A and B are shown apart, each in its own frame.
Chain A
């Protein structure tokens, strides 16, 4: 861009130039069309009117509220109400049907799964992960191992009242701290840990005394986990003979569990989520890896 003082008027058109020239092409100083200018003025007027009518300017700790009293939160609430209204038909059907009925009606089932997925993301994902993949101590909901049972009714019960939660209807039962509370000697705990690994078909040390471990197990663990370590869903006692380990299958982790006990808490959702949302959640979680996939 070059300013050229000597060429104020374009020779061809007789129009004054702005003095701007790019590659010898000059910009003529033509006036704007009237409608264009008025559109521009109208935009300015609109902007001023908008600033007066709507929240617009940030202040130090607040903002200008606008003369219309419009508030984005009210708008969202209105949208949500409209959405609820729009879905009310399906929601009513969901509320009126039993879990099994819903599961047998493809249309309702799809609706419930979609709603359940959203509710899961909002409420359950912090512990169980966005896709229900879980983490150490937080069960993976996609597999076929269920601490408290994977049927529709069992999942519903667990979501509603939780485990070791504030609800007295929730699941209870916990793994004692055998070491910390002095119920077992360190020696016995190590033997039990070896034995538990052998139950799941995991390799054990050559030196392991499995017979002694079996004895410790039968005396202390079998009450909850069963004689063969198959677990007990009434007590939330995990199956120790399968390939799924909530905390990990290495010896140190098992020993740690035996020493200090275990007892993850699942909160109670009854009263925090409405009945239909819990139903939808149940159906969604069940579809991830409920008992049908065994």
Chain B
């Protein structure tokens, strides 16, 4: 190829493609079948949870909100049924995120992008929007014909109706979101009477817009171009993960029913695929699964339903497209036995990690106290010398009372027998110990002075602050140090 044109300095060549590729409109066809049913059920459950969860009540007593799930930003609390999370405990949220990531990894190890196909919000809402579109404008053929034809008034009317319904769903989606951040019934009333805060309307606006654009217009483009998961997922998966697979060992060479029947009679190779293109027609991302596993395929399984329906009609066994691995396809071609291994080191590892994280979280939730104490040593100065020569250290303590009643706590010291402890602004209990009083569900910051009259040589002595609930006797403690010259 000596006469090939010289490459462009930036690598582009004269016969470059245009600057942009117009999107190919996809008209997925409706399909019925096992996986479609599963998807409908998942859609109903997940959207049901999302839209109605804020209305579930959970009695926490008179001083606390009774919403089962509530992100109370104003008071920095997160309520999740019987769990109440304080700002100091955001690690529970971290834990939940770690669990979520591990779940995703496990799903990926078992069945590839199964999350994308069934559970991802983008898929679920796009599916819903497609359902609306089909209901208003008809199935694949009608829509294609309509979009090719002139823009008549009835067509315009149908399109308008579709967008109105889409916008209503989108608006409800944004509306449900803000309900997680305030008392839902009150907020619904406030929203309806235009008394709710600007932020609430703003968020509804933002989420209405994103839902409408992402689920209505961007659709498969989100999965193909915007979402990072397909990229990460590709790096995490392995050859044992089940994927929606066209079993080309069985399907090829494809041909019409008649042609292949003839071929078979002649003893020539003939596959089961009748090249009806049904699997492509139903695909929401426009993939031809027969070309193998592709980045665009979200593993929704609809092509499996479509093909199964075709196979039933032509009287051939189902499962020409099925959850399988390329490794097995290859194995069958070469006459080796298939390997199906759901339980393998990778899945065991993820499942094990999930169990560990889950148990740690449950354990720490069960053992966590209604009382919290943190201590911070003064940094400047680390210590002061008093006029009588004794040494004093200053500390800032923060006490959180997670109960719903006002509590009084005494503060005592372990580790420095001769030291005296004072709480600035606090009073003493009957035994002469300094106390702090904290209101229900509140925190209090106080200054604590520890004065040591002994003349010791060490410049740092471990200390333990012990906080005791005077009513219940509950205690909690924190370690720090006493510094001396």
Residues of A within 8 A of B389 (CB): 242-243
Interface contact B381-A133, CB-CB below 8 Å: yes
Partner of B385, one of A35, A110, A143: A143
Is B250 part of the contact surface with A, judged by Cβ < 8 Å?
Answer: no
Known: A6-B4, A36-B225, A109-B425. A31 touches B20 (CB 8 A): yes
Interface contact B21-A30, CB-CB below 8 Å: yes
Is B254 part of the contact surface with A, judged by Cβ < 8 Å?
Answer: no
Residues of A within 8 A of B59 (CB): none
Interface string of B373-399 (1 = CB under 8 A from A): 000001111001111110010100000
Interface contact A243-B385, CB-CB below 8 Å: yes
Q: What is the CA–CA distance of A133 and B379 in the complex, to the nearest angstrom?
A: 10
Interface contact A16-B15, CB-CB below 8 Å: yes
Query: Nearest chain B CB to A111's CB is how many angstroms away?
Result: 11
Is B149 part of the contact surface with A, judged by Cβ < 8 Å?
Answer: no
Interface contact B23-A33, CB-CB below 8 Å: yes
Max chain B Cβ within 10 angstroms of own Cβ: one of A15, A132, A144: A144
Is A3 part of the contact surface with B, judged by Cβ < 8 Å?
Answer: yes
Is A233 part of the contact surface with B, judged by Cβ < 8 Å?
Answer: no
Is B5 part of the contact surface with A, judged by Cβ < 8 Å?
Answer: yes
In the complex, identify which listed stretch (B169-177, B323-331, B444-452, B473-481) lies at the interface while the others stay far away: B444-452
Interface contact B20-A37, CB-CB below 8 Å: yes
Interface contact B12-A29, CB-CB below 8 Å: yes
Interface contact B384-A289, CB-CB below 8 Å: yes
Known: A16-B17, A243-B389. A34 touches B422 (CB 8 A): no
Interface string of A25-66 (1 = CB under 8 A from B): 001011111111100000000000000000000000000000
How many residues of chain A are within 8 Å of chain B by beta carbon? 44
Q: What is the CA–CA distance of A15 and B15 in the complex, to the nearest angstrom?
A: 10
How many residues of chain B are within 8 Å of chain A by beta carbon? 43
Interface contact A16-B19, CB-CB below 8 Å: no
Residues of A within 8 A of B380 (CB): 129-131, 133
Question: In chain A, residues 78-131, which have Cβ atoms closer than 8 Å to a Cβ of chain B?
Answer: 103, 106, 109-110, 113, 129-131
Query: Nearest chain A CB to B350's CB is how many angstroms away?
Result: 29
Interface contact B424-A5, CB-CB below 8 Å: no
Is A19 part of the contact surface with B, judged by Cβ < 8 Å?
Answer: yes
Query: Nearest chain A CB to B100's CB is how many angstroms away?
Result: 29
Is B265 part of the contact surface with A, judged by Cβ < 8 Å?
Answer: no
Query: Nearest chain A CB to B337's CB is how many angstroms away?
Result: 31
Residues of B within 8 A of A143 (CB): 384-387, 392
Interface contact A244-B385, CB-CB below 8 Å: yes
Interface contact B392-A31, CB-CB below 8 Å: no
Residues of B within 8 A of A289 (CB): 384, 392, 394, 449
Q: What is the CA–CA distance of A146 and B378 in the complex, to the nearest angstrom?
A: 20
Residues of B within 8 A of A287 (CB): 424-425, 447
Residues of B within 8 A of A191 (CB): none
Known: A8-B5, A31-B18, A244-B387. A142 touches B11 (CB 8 A): no
Interface contact B378-A131, CB-CB below 8 Å: yes
Is B363 part of the contact surface with A, judged by Cβ < 8 Å?
Answer: no
The residue of chain A having its C-beta at the shortest distance from the C-beta of B379 within the complex is A131
Residues of A within 8 A of B5 (CB): 8
Residues of B within 8 A of A268 (CB): none
Q: What is the CA–CA distance of A261 and B16 in the complex, to the nearest angstrom?
A: 89
Query: Nearest chain B CB to A25's CB is how many angstroms away?
Result: 14
Is A140 part of the contact surface with B, judged by Cβ < 8 Å?
Answer: yes
Q: What is the CA–CA distance of A284 and B11 in the complex, to the nearest angstrom?
A: 68
Is B221 part of the contact surface with A, judged by Cβ < 8 Å?
Answer: yes
Interface contact A243-B437, CB-CB below 8 Å: no
Residues of A within 8 A of B386 (CB): 143-145, 243-244
Residues of A within 8 A of B13 (CB): 8, 16, 19, 29
Residues of A within 8 A of B445 (CB): 110
Interface contact B17-A142, CB-CB below 8 Å: no
Q: What is the CA–CA distance of A142 and B451 in the complex, to the nearest angstrom?
A: 12
Q: What is the CA–CA distance of A157 and B22 in the complex, to the nearest angstrom?
A: 77
Is A239 part of the contact surface with B, judged by Cβ < 8 Å?
Answer: yes
Known: A106-B425, A287-B425. A33 touches B21 (CB 8 A): yes
Question: In chain B, residues 1-60, which have Cβ atoms closer than 8 Å to a Cβ of chain A?
Answer: 1, 4-8, 10-13, 15-23
Is A293 part of the contact surface with B, judged by Cβ < 8 Å?
Answer: yes
Q: What is the CA–CA distance of A239 and B388 in the complex, to the nearest angstrom?
A: 11
Interface contact B422-A293, CB-CB below 8 Å: yes
Residues of B within 8 A of A33 (CB): 20-21, 23, 221, 225
Max chain A Cβ within 10 angstroms of own Cβ: one of B11, B221, B380, B392: B11
Residues of B within 8 A of A16 (CB): 12-13, 15-17
Interface contact A288-B20, CB-CB below 8 Å: no
Is B218 part of the contact surface with A, judged by Cβ < 8 Å?
Answer: yes
Residues of A within 8 A of B379 (CB): 131
The residue of chain B having its C-beta at the shortest distance from the C-beta of A17 within the complex is B11
Interface contact B225-A142, CB-CB below 8 Å: no
Interface contact B19-A29, CB-CB below 8 Å: no
Q: What is the CA–CA distance of A144 and B420 in the complex, to the nearest angstrom?
A: 15
The residue of chain A having its C-beta at the shortest distance from the C-beta of B378 within the complex is A131
Is A166 part of the contact surface with B, judged by Cβ < 8 Å?
Answer: no
Partner of B7, one of A5, A27, A34, A242: A5
Interface contact A35-B23, CB-CB below 8 Å: yes
Known: A5-B7, A31-B18. A293 touches B387 (CB 8 A): no
Residues of B within 8 A of A244 (CB): 385-387
The residue of chain B having its C-beta at the shortest distance from the C-beta of A20 within the complex is B11
Interface contact B422-A243, CB-CB below 8 Å: no
Is A260 part of the contact surface with B, judged by Cβ < 8 Å?
Answer: no
Is A292 part of the contact surface with B, judged by Cβ < 8 Å?
Answer: yes
Besides A37-B19, A132-B381, 12 more A-B contacts (Cβ < 8 Å) are: A15-B17, A31-B18, A31-B19, A32-B21, A33-B225, A106-B437, A142-B381, A145-B386, A244-B386, A292-B422, A293-B422, A293-B449
Contacts from A to B (Cβ < 8 Å): 3, 5-6, 8, 15-20, 27, 29-37, 103, 106, 109-110, 113, 129-133, 140, 142-145, 239, 242-244, 287-289, 292-293
Residue contacts A-B, CB under 8 angstroms, 24 given: A3-B7, A16-B13, A17-B11, A18-B11, A18-B12, A19-B7, A29-B17, A30-B17, A34-B20, A34-B22, A34-B23, A37-B19, A110-B444, A142-B378, A142-B384, A143-B386, A144-B387, A144-B392, A239-B387, A243-B388, A288-B394, A288-B447, A289-B392, A293-B451
